[in-house]
Chains A and B, each alone.
Chain A
Amino acid sequence: MTELIDLTAAQAARGVQTGEIGAAELFEAYRRRAAGEELNAFLWVADSPAAGGSPADRPLGGVPLAVKDLFCTEGVPSQAGSRILEGYRPPYTATVVAKLTAAGAPLLGKTNQDEFAMGSSNENSGYGAVLNPWDRGRVPGGSSGGSAAAVAAGLAPWAIGTDTGGSIRQPAALCGIVGLKPTYGACSRYGMIAFASSLDQAGPLTRDVTDAALLFRHMVGHDPCDSTSVEFPGQVALPVAEDLRGIRLGVPEELTGDAGGVQSGVRESFEATLNLAEGLGASVEPCRLPHAPHALSAYYLIAPAEASANLARYDGVRYGLRVDGDADLITMYSRTRARGFGPEVKRRIMLGTYALSSGYYDAYYGTAQKVRTKISEDFRVAFEQFDFIATPTSPWTAFELGSKTDDPLAMYFNDFCTVPMSLAGIPAISIPSGLSEGLPVGFHLAGPAFSESRLLDVAYALERAIGFDGRVART
């Protein structure tokens, strides 16, 4: 059994395809681990792989997939980590999940998350916090914390999550795995329970860069059901780079200086990785993203504003929780939503409603949209000189459970380095760059829109040079 768990997903897929591994045996090995886990990473685990064609003939080789709770999966609980959707089983499946299942990755289970993807610690889940497999007293990051913890702990070979302002990259960093936030529009959002529609993107959380590329290859493509999705230019390439000759890395002082409050251990790991990159032939130079420090503010207006509308459908009429159905309509609405949503979700609904309300729109939402334009321009200018931009993924390593829950603003600074790329809609990846005091640190690389294949290639070369060992977490 342990041998199976030690394989990367790509290795396991190859094993099934060559007949060395039985797909049923592989599924059962992970199913048993997922069903018996103690991290609270899973909210639901499948009994068996859904019936279908032979996994050996398919590109993902029957390697089971953990799916963030907010992806709708037909007949399976899909609650977005919220009590307001407790027990909700949708009558349809998200496009990305359907594509991956069709490509041969059966659904293993649904993973815990911050409620409606709002959070950076997974402590905002309606179903309890997820524990970090590196230190169970610490958070796994969020909002895709269940997916990240499951992959890091070997409860799942790979997983998908969603990233709105850092929700794939930050938990990947805190759990010592790889997380890719694709270009906005690369993957369909159809069936993804929305947080902030103009920012949400699905992406892979995997043990290594090759797994990320393989999974991502089967996630992309235009979906007629998602007007904002686009055809990915060409096939996603599996990474092969052995060096970084000719690659120009830009390091934005705005995101790596003192403003973000980067921990010293994180900074050391980041700088060590930059040195490795230079050693592989890359050039590393400072670059400017003048508006990046304002990204967090713009993000915390735009995302809550969109969320305030996206979450208006949870009203106790068609599905989900209803409280005081015998009261008058407005009381039923207000109590259903008061009881069904957790504090952070309420806070963001309030913030977003306020930012859009009469008399404040221009000052808040309108201004944030203009800042968004400036941030995109900053990146466009930077990419004229640099191929990729490097920052730490998170200013911190995994922090202790409960240590930031009393200060929403401090919690928001988790996303300081990841939010600018989200606002610009460009792809970014986090790979483990080492440990700081026994906890994983993430290295964050961003590229121009649809540069994922090259981005994965660079990440792959760095990954080999770093030689991160995540086995400790998979006990």
Chain B
Amino acid sequence: MRTEYEPVIGLEIHVQLSTRTKMFCGCELSFGDEPNTHTCAVCLGLPGALPVVNERAIHFGLMIGLAFGCDIAERSEFHRKNYFYPDLPKGYQISQYDQPLCRGGEVGDVRIHRVHLEEDAAKLNHLGESGRIHGSGRSWVDFNRGGTPLVEIVTEPDIRSPEHAREWLTLLRTTLRVLGVSDVNMAEGSLRCDANVSVRPVGSTELGTKTELKNLNSFRFLERGLRAEIRRQIDLLQAGEPVVQETLHYDPRSDRLTPLRSKEEAHDYRYFPEPDLVPVLATEEMIAAARAAIPELPADRAARFERELGLSAERARLLAFRSELGDYYERAVAADGEDPVGLANWIPQLVERIGPDANPAESSVAPESLATLAAMVAAKEVSRDAAREVLTLLVREGGDPRTIVEREGLGALSGEGDGLAEIVQRAIESDPAAAAQVRSGNRKALGPLVGYVMRETKGRADGGEVTRLILERLGPS
């Protein structure tokens, strides 16, 4: 019998903080500017230069820690992490080691191990081949990014599938965006993700040998990289071979994982307390200021949507975990709050039309218009099918739904004025067999009759109204 395996995944996320200046110097943060135009003695690692901690980076770190429910360290220290690389100007990275700013806490269903502050490396560019590390030729360093404040967020190994990882990272990203501490843009590298992956037989509580996956820098690559690595590990174990602890680089183009370094080159970072900096003590004032700066978080917002607006848990999470959807929805509810549950059902319809990653606030559909449309459906002024068509037109050209309904003649047909009764009559006449079955009490036979009416009215008729009219005529006598 084949053993079933389950993956055990922990994530390490690096997030660039959206302070104005770098972690340890006054150079302004930038993206896409001319290389080496945002540097000074400190972030170039010139002889004699000394770091000074950015107050707002600490503030943001505390906000994140409090939002995650972490224990905030009374005293935290910076260490030097020593290694040589051209993007590391001092030959060490100033980071936190055994006294991080925050420990513990949780985001959604994943526990947080620790949150600490550090400085980002500079950008190493490779001439010739783009972006790939290769054996020969020249590279060049742009120090604009070097020294950008980073938080490193390390989770406990609580994630059980690539899909779970993706969904959770979405929640984390939204949480950080709502906090206003980062742009969390994976494409621009302001949110970067590494993963620790192991597999174990289902039911086992022991952890298997883990590997570290680097370069999972989009939601898609995260999911695909994890899937590839889980498959690789299971294949190894099923073939009776061991998983080797190593660091792997995921190449999204080939969907392949390659070891980053041989074992002999295992790093020895020689951490020791950074003598150029003094400890950070999170004072009550600092913690109070951080707490006061925290807005409503996605998890809290989802709970509020359930509690106050009556949304299902799934729908509430869908809207709250992408803050732009939640924001849009709340503006629509503010415009017309009669039926928040019905209104919420229209958001996925809108997303389907504008694309999965687009921000509805930037679409041509004003939240007020969506609210109007939903209200028209609720009042049976327009059928559900016709309303979908109206939404398509709104996405294409914007405007007011009432005007579109009128212009396109999409208003709901009623039995009295609009000749719906005549069409119903024609339907009954065109399919006597179905009519007979309905008459004898078989409601399943309503289908073809309703379908006939819908076709004839191009969906403008309200399904419920049509059924009512048919039954009125064919009601079991």
A residues with CB within 8 A of B: 70-72, 78, 80, 85, 88, 90-92, 94, 189-194, 196-198, 224-228, 305-306, 308-309, 311-313, 315, 317-319, 328-330, 333, 353, 356-358, 361, 365
Contact = CB atoms under 8 A, between A and B. Distances in A.
A361 B80 CA distance: 14
A258 B47 CA distance: 40
B313 interface: no
Nearest to B269: A358
B141 A227 contact: no
A31 to B, nearest CB: 25
Given A228-B278, A329-B86, A189 B270 contact: no
Nearest to B267: A358
Top 3 A-B pairs, shortest CB-CB distance: A312-B91, A197-B275, A356-B270
A309 B48 contact: no
Contacts of A308: 82, 270
B82 A312 contact: yes
Interface stretch (B38-46, B61-69, B319-327): B38-46
Contacts of A312: 82, 84, 90-92
Interface in B263-295: 268, 270-272, 275-278
Contacts of B45: 313, 318
B127 interface: no
Interface stretch (B49-57, B156-164, B379-387): B49-57
B91 A315 contact: yes
B92 A309 contact: yes
B459 interface: no
A90 B48 contact: yes
Given A90-B41, A226-B50, 13 more contacts: A90-B46, A92-B46, A189-B48, A191-B49, A225-B50, A227-B277, A228-B278, A306-B272, A308-B270, A309-B90, A312-B84, A312-B92, A353-B270
A313 B87 CA distance: 11
Given A313-B91, A329-B86, A88 B272 contact: no
A57 to B, nearest CB: 30
Contacts of A225: 50, 52
6 contacts: A92-B49, A197-B275, A226-B50, A227-B277, A312-B92, A328-B135
A309 B47 contact: no
A329 to B, nearest CB: 7
Nearest to A326: B138
Contacts of A71: 48
A225 to B, nearest CB: 6
B272 A305 contact: yes
B432 to A, nearest CB: 87
Contacts of B135: 328
Could you say which of B53, B271, B276 has the most chain A C-beta atoms within 10 Å of its C-beta?
B276
B47 A88 contact: yes
A306 B272 CA distance: 9
A305 B270 CA distance: 9
B49 A190 contact: yes
B147 interface: no
Contact of B48 (A191, A306, A328, A365): A191
B272 A361 contact: yes
A223 to B, nearest CB: 9
A280 B278 CA distance: 42
A230 B329 CA distance: 54
Contacts of B91: 309, 311-313, 315
Nearest to B42: A225
B90 A313 contact: yes
A319 B47 CA distance: 10
B89 A318 contact: yes
